[in-house]
Structure 1
Amino acid sequence: MIDGSEASHQIIADLLESRTGQHLTESRRWRVNSALAGIFRTHGISNVDQLVCLLAAPPADAPDLAQEVVEALLNNETYFFRDKPTFDQLPAEILPELHRRRRDARRLSIWSAGCSTGQEVYSLAMLFAEQAERWAGWTIDILGTDVSHRAVGAARSALYSPFEVQRGLGVAQMLRHFDETPRGWQVRGDVRAMVRFQQHNLLGGPHPGRLPFDLVLCRNVLLYFDRLTRAAAFGRLAQAVMPDGFLMLGAGETVVGQTDRFVPAARRASFFEPVAAPAAAPAPTPARRSA
């Protein structure tokens, strides 16, 4: 049973959607109270109704209480080399193809949208580190972005708990790419040198690159958008991918029936290629009047 009135839950849902685009469906509302439990304890309240009252006039010690609520509701589930059968297509097919296409420029630019606490970004960097000879002399730039300030901070720290570092990584990879420290497992410098992070809202403006990216990963992000918001997100993603680049979605996501800006890449599950936007129709020529 959910504590608090339906109106209060709707206010919380509207707050999340306005700041992130995520649609808090009825099937996901069961987790609201557990997700907000820490905020309840901090402010000495017990339900969503009381929280909504605080949001109307946030206390002096929590001037951005609304952002705290949004951060608590975001799903930051991730792990290294997530969905490995899908991820394995990157070193086997996608990166070799991009190597061929970019061999003159010798530069590769990758964007991980919705990167959460960074495991996906560091997984990508490890792929390049493990194929150092192939990529010698190349500039590899991997950007991770997330709407969550907290998640981006954790990603930048490159520090993971024993539980986190064991999710998706073998022992050999742990020892090769991480140093054990008193605070946790730290990603090594050669891997960190390829990556950078920033806070960014996929729906909140232009893509974060100076130029379009060769590869964009946006996995398990669009699942939380309604149909119209998802279509808008695909439009932003289409602007972010080079015409001969790739978009990678989550294992359970597709563009089919969702957008006309991408088509499935041949024989590559979860990878899609951009379709050129239709050219604007020329303005009609004014009819000439006879003298």
Structure 2
Amino acid sequence: MTVARPAGPLGPAANAIVALLEQRTGQQLDAGRAWRIDSALQPMLRERGLTTLDELVARINDRGGSEHGLADLVVDALLNQETSFFRDAATLDTVVQAAIDMVAESPRRLRIWSAACSTGQEPLSMAMLFAEASERTGILPPEIRATDISMRALMRARAARYTQFEIQRGLPIRRMMQWFEPRDDLWEAKAELRFRLLYGQQNLIADPMPGGKFDIVLCRNVLMYLSPVTRGAVLDRIATVLRPGGLLVLGAGETVIGHTEALVPSERYRGLYRPAAH
């Protein structure tokens, strides 16, 4: 597939890469984030003996070339994988309380989906919180499915190994000592925590939705990178896999309002969203 070369202030090669990112993921890279192109792709240029983005785009467009999948690697490198343990901790506490309420009203094992899970800190945080909630209340730990478009991020998530810097971002010492153990120069989540999670690759704009219905879906800090039209389409798709009475969790700066009629703010849980009544 040939990468288009739209004209613009970024230059033709950079614009081609921006177009490729949006085509594959729906994510837009505006001028304020254009610095990511050079910083993210410089290692790839050096590895391949290339000096300019024009050469990289030409190689992507070379159908007879030997580097199949180069476009995928470029897109993967440009994805924002910013995450941390217990990010927006108050929101996660609300999610756990909502889950406890759901089980109290209809006893069952819940299903939770962490969409765009990046390198795994969010689903691991949820697994820790539910393990603690299980000890307090007897709630059965939920099935937690975690997905991301980036195979590179998923490999790290499955390995559940983090640097000292990553482990200190949001993870209290008590939980670190309880759930992680040193492994070489890294910290690795213990097997009993890793085995609580199911990982899979998922493109939110193109792939089929995961099978079955979910009680809670977390899709945080993803919609902000999508165009309004794509944002609405993703929300509509997520609504199809929420159970009646289920909940959607977005990032602090995100909302469903003005983007979809399939979801509305939850009256019971501030900042969360539920399927619209029909």
Provide the TM-score with structure 1 as the length reference. 0.87
Q: Partner of 1:254: helix, strand, or coil?
A: coil
Q: Partner of 2:110: helix, strand, or coil?
A: strand
- Kindly indicate whether residue 11 of structure 2 is the aligned counterpart of residue 9 of structure 1: no
Contact (CA 8 Å) 1:102, 1:108: kept in 2 or not?
no
Q: Which of residues 108, 115, 123 is equivalent to 1:121?
A: 123
CA RMSD of aligned residues (A): 1.9
Larger radius of gyration: 1
Q: Partner of 2:248: helix, strand, or coil?
A: strand
Corresponding residue number in structure 1 for 2:26: 21
Q: Which of residues 90, 94, 99 is equivalent to 1:95?
A: 99
Give matches, 1:1-291, under 5 Å.
6-57=11-62, 62-91=67-96, 93-103=97-107, 106-134=108-136, 136=138, 138=140, 140-209=142-211, 211-266=212-267, 268-276=269-277
Q: State the 1:9 CA deviation.
A: 1.7
Partner letter of residue 41 of structure 1? R
Partner letter of residue 15 of structure 1? L
Q: State the 1:171 CA deviation.
A: 0.6
Q: State the 1:178 CA deviation.
A: 0.6
Rounded Cα–Cα distance in structure 1 between residues aligned with 2:115 and 2:64: 33
Partner letter of residue 13 of structure 1? V
Q: State the 1:116 CA deviation.
A: 0.3
Cα pair distance change 1:109/1:241, threshold 3 Å? same
Cα pair distance change 1:176/1:44, threshold 3 Å? same
Q: State the 1:268 CA deviation.
A: 3.0
Which whole-Å deviations, capped at 9, do the CAs of 1:91-136 have from their partners, x for residues lacking one? 3x31222222331xx2110001100000000000001111233564
Q: State the 1:55 CA deviation.
A: 0.9
Partner letter of residue 148 of structure 1? S
Say how many residue pairs are matched: 270
Cα pair distance change 1:274/1:256, threshold 3 Å? same
Corresponding residue number in structure 2 for 1:282: none
Q: State the 1:168 CA deviation.
A: 0.6
Q: State the 1:87 CA deviation.
A: 2.2
Rounded Cα–Cα distance in structure 2 between residues aligned with 1:186 and 1:40: 32
Cα pair distance change 1:7/1:125, threshold 3 Å? same
Rounded Cα–Cα distance in structure 2 between residues aligned with 1:174 and 1:138: 23
Partner letter of residue 21 of structure 1? G
Rounded Cα–Cα distance in structure 2 between residues aligned with 1:172 and 1:137: 22
Name whichever of 40-49 and 147-156 sits farther off.
Answer: 40-49
Name whichever of 56-65 and 67-76 sits farther off.
Answer: 56-65
Partner letter of residue 114 of structure 1? A
Contact (CA 8 Å) 2:131, 2:141: kept in 1 or not?
no
Q: Partner of 2:209: helix, strand, or coil?
A: coil
Rounded Cα–Cα distance in structure 1 between residues aligned with 2:137 and 2:203: 31
Rounded Cα–Cα distance in structure 1 between residues aligned with 2:65 and 2:132: 50
Name whichever of 196-205 and 225-234 sits farther off.
Answer: 196-205
Name whichever of 39-48 and 70-79 sits farther off.
Answer: 39-48
Provide the TM-score with structure 2 as the length reference. 0.91
Identity of aligned residues (%): 43
Q: State the 1:206 CA deviation.
A: 2.6
Rounded Cα–Cα distance in structure 2 between residues aligned with 1:136 and 1:96: 10
